[in-house]
Amino acid sequence: MIGWLQGQLADRWQQNSRCGLLLVCGGVGYEVQLPRRQWEQLPSAGATLTLHVHQVIREDSWTLYGFGLRHERELFRELVAVSGIGPQMALGLLGQLSCEQLVRAIVQADLRLLTQAPGVGKRTAERLSVELRTRLQERFGPGSNATDTADLLLEASDGQSAPLADQVRCEVSLTLTALGYEALEINRALRAVASQAPATESRDADAWLRECLRWLSRSEAA
């Protein structure tokens, strides 16, 4: 199973609503489909790219779906696990909305935002929200390690409480968990962000989430 590729961008292509690239790795060219948002930001031919890959094997085809960051691939996998959500619809959702926007829309059942993605109607958006939200609630509900996770998130790098309201802290934790991060990773990210004066001055969940994702991305690349 192919899970990661690093190589040179040889070509980029578009077929109807599908976007992708040809990535040359060790003399072999791999065709990989991408979310439109990422495809539009591709560098010029010859650039070195690293992709986290989800592979779908069927009787008549082997298809690769690529993502610049691990949490994007993990969210894609969560989407395609929902009944009626295929790879193309999942790519459409990730191509229309950022990971932060998409996770928040699912958790908050924001049907208006979810139905902006191509092919996603109201019923599909409702099913997507109900099924994924239930998984998240089970993960943080009674009997889970939610209390331990919350205790971890309360700690800052200097041992003091991080300047996060309870609602904001839970929202950031829930979103990062939905993206595939573990409690320890989330705690480290919040500690790192809390040590940065500009970030600690803001109580806005979006700001904390963006800074945590930047820190986690740099940590993955290191």
Q: What is the pLDDT of residues 74-83, one digit of tens each?
A: 889 989 998 8
CA distance 161 to 194: 10
Q: Which of 133, 154, 185 is the last residue of a domain?
A: 133
Domain extent at residue 38: 4-67
| Residue 61 placed within a domain | yes
Mean pLDDT of 111-119: 91
Q: Which of 23, 42, 67 is the last residue of a domain?
A: 67
Are 151 and 216 within one domain? yes
| Residue 141 placed within a domain | no
Each residue of 119-176: pLDDT tens digit?
899 989 988 888 887 664 454 334 444 434 334 333 433 343 444 555 676 778 778 8
| Residue 160 placed within a domain | yes
For CA atoms 211, 213, 216, 217, the dihedral sign is negative
The structural domain count of the chain equals 3
Are 158 and 216 within one domain? yes
Are 127 and 161 within one domain? no
User: Which token pair is 21?
Assistant: 């690239």
Average pLDDT, the chain: 79
Give me the phi and psi of 171, to 5 degrees please.
-65, -45
pLDDT the model gives residue 159: 40
Mean pLDDT of 51-56: 94
Q: Which of 20, 49, 67 is the last residue of a domain?
A: 67
SS3 labels along 81-150: CCCCCCHHHHHHHHHHCCHHHHHHHHHCCCHHHHCCCCCCCHHHHHHHHHHHHHHHHHHHCCCCCHHHHH
Residue 72's contacts (CB-CB under 8 Å, 6 or more residues apart) are 35, 38, 52, 94, 99, 179
